[in-house]
Chain A
Amino acid sequence: MQTEDLIRALAADVPPVSRFLVARRMTIGIVTGGIAALAGIALTIGFRPDLETAMRGFPFWMKFSYSLSLGLCAIMAARHLSRPESSRSEWLRLLIIPVGLLAAVSVAELALTPSQDWHALWLGESWKQCVPRVLLYSLPIFAGLLWAFRQFAPTQLRLTGTTAGLAAGACSATLYGFHCPEASATFVLSWYSLGIGLAGMVGALVGPRFMRW
């Protein structure tokens, strides 16, 4: 086909494009996936029975703000990487801030706890369930993000896949906090982060296959 013919064909169909299309598609993908994840939690493991009391205490909001801030940084990074001229994202560096803050809380917590109780603080009651569940409930959110990216133009597919995986993992961890009864910063820093990291690895492996254009 001649290039001029192609241009004429393309110019025959020029619908207006909203400047918020990228943000809107990402929101739709994440919210839809998040609703699916939340429904999954509600129907299988349920929310913690003392949720109302817990929401008045520090540990709940510590977990919530840790995973939510990781999620927001990763979402902003993914949004940046959706454009073809982006090769990396400064937003990913910001992930270190919530990790650092929680690490500080964790150190303070360990300092205030007799060392024979450190083990219980670290493993809690549910470390074995925490990691696979964060990973599991990240999957619908990750799928929503992959859907959103089908119309985007990422060029660093491995990095973008990882970032989308981290975003999905962090959103999933935020929702899992409505079930999880654990209250220690050391627990959250270890196991929530591991679950989110594994979700990022899934993104690194799967992302490039689905994000090609």
Chain B
Amino acid sequence: MRASEDQLRSWMIGGLDGDADAHAALLRALVPILRSFFGRRLRGASDDVEDLVQETLMAIHSRRATYRRDLPLVAWAYGVARYKLIDHFRRARQMVSIDGLEDILISEGFEEACAARIDIDRLLGGISAKQAKAIRDTKVEGLSIAEAAQSQGVSEADVKVSVHRGLKALAARLRGAS
């Protein structure tokens, strides 16, 4: 059964006052609400739904200061969810060309595609783990700098520096190899 608006709001206010249990209860109660919100809008793509639920929970946690205690809580949470969904569509659109690229790789042969992956792995193996992770996240997986920074728990500047230095090191290695 879904928690009522009043119940959700009192958990939220508890969390805002520093009550960790109330905060956890709020996030748990929001999970089914968010799942059905995203599920209805992304028919079938259940991985995306769970990713979006998690992203939204993180945003709800980090932006809870923007909730005003005298206003409806669910409307506020839907506002966060809607923004994350639009952000998701925007990113999906930007990655269409990569989808195309995958087809090209497959049509040119499975072996080459695998070889390319192995090449990436071998190349990234030659630089520091931190730089390799930053490059893999931002250049291979397609995360934004902010998302990569958040997932690794470091600053955005840190990620940018790692990517920059890593690419430089890779370029130097490739020049040396050729």
* A residues whose Cβ falls under 8 Å from a Cβ of B: 1, 3-4, 6-8, 10-12, 14-19, 21-22, 82-86, 151-153, 155, 212-213
Q: Decide if B82 touches A11 in the complex (CB within 8 Å).
A: no
A10 with B66, Cβ < 8 A, contacts A16-B17, A85-B78 known: no
Complex Cα spacing A166 to B146, Å: 27
A8 with B83, Cβ < 8 A, contacts A22-B65, A151-B63 known: no
Complex Cα spacing A19 to B75, Å: 18
Complex Cα spacing A14 to B64, Å: 10
Indicate which residue in B31, B78, B83, B146 contacts A3 across the interface (CB closer than 8 Å).
B31
Residues of B within 8 A of A7 (CB): 24, 27-28, 31, 57
Complex Cα spacing A11 to B29, Å: 13
0/1 string, B41-75, CB within 8 A of A gives 1: 00000000010011001110111111111011001
Q: Decide if A21 touches B18 in the complex (CB within 8 Å).
A: no
B125 at the binding interface (Cβ < 8 Å): no
A10 with B58, Cβ < 8 A, contacts A83-B66, A151-B65, A153-B63 known: yes
Indicate which residue in B21, B66, B86 contacts A82 across the interface (CB closer than 8 Å).
B66
Residues of B within 8 A of A22 (CB): 65-66
Complex Cα spacing A213 to B150, Å: 11
In the complex, which residue of chain B has the Cβ closest to the Cβ of A6? B54
Complex Cα spacing A153 to B55, Å: 14
Q: Decide if B57 touches A10 in the complex (CB within 8 Å).
A: yes
Q: How far is the CB of B76 from chain A (nearest CB, A)?
A: 5
Complex Cα spacing A64 to B18, Å: 42
Q: How far is the CB of B85 from chain A (nearest CB, A)?
A: 11
Q: Decide if A17 touches B64 in the complex (CB within 8 Å).
A: yes
Interface residues on B, range: 35 or more
Q: Decide if B24 touches A8 in the complex (CB within 8 Å).
A: yes
Complex Cα spacing A10 to B65, Å: 15
Q: Decide if A6 touches B76 in the complex (CB within 8 Å).
A: no
Q: Decide if B20 touches A14 in the complex (CB within 8 Å).
A: yes
Q: Decide if A16 touches B16 in the complex (CB within 8 Å).
A: yes
Other A-B pairs beyond A83-B67, A84-B79, 20, CB < 8 Å: A3-B53, A3-B54, A3-B57, A7-B27, A8-B24, A10-B24, A11-B24, A16-B16, A16-B18, A17-B65, A19-B68, A84-B63, A84-B66, A84-B82, A85-B71, A85-B72, A85-B79, A155-B82, A213-B59, A213-B146
Residues of A within 8 A of B83 (CB): 84, 153, 155, 213
Q: Decide if B61 touches A10 in the complex (CB within 8 Å).
A: yes
A85 with B58, Cβ < 8 A, contacts A15-B18, A153-B66 known: no
Complex Cα spacing A67 to B31, Å: 46
In the complex, which residue of chain B has the Cβ closest to the Cβ of A16? B18
Restricting to B1-58, which residues have a CB under 8 Å from any CB of A? 15-21, 23-24, 27-28, 31, 50, 53-54, 57-58
Complex Cα spacing A18 to B66, Å: 10
A19 with B61, Cβ < 8 A, contacts A6-B54, A14-B23, A83-B76 known: no
Q: Decide if A19 touches B69 in the complex (CB within 8 Å).
A: yes
Residues of B within 8 A of A153 (CB): 59, 63, 66, 79-80, 83
Sample of 15 A–B contacts (CB below 8 Å): A6-B54, A6-B57, A7-B57, A14-B15, A14-B19, A16-B18, A19-B68, A19-B69, A84-B79, A85-B71, A85-B78, A153-B59, A153-B66, A213-B59, A213-B83
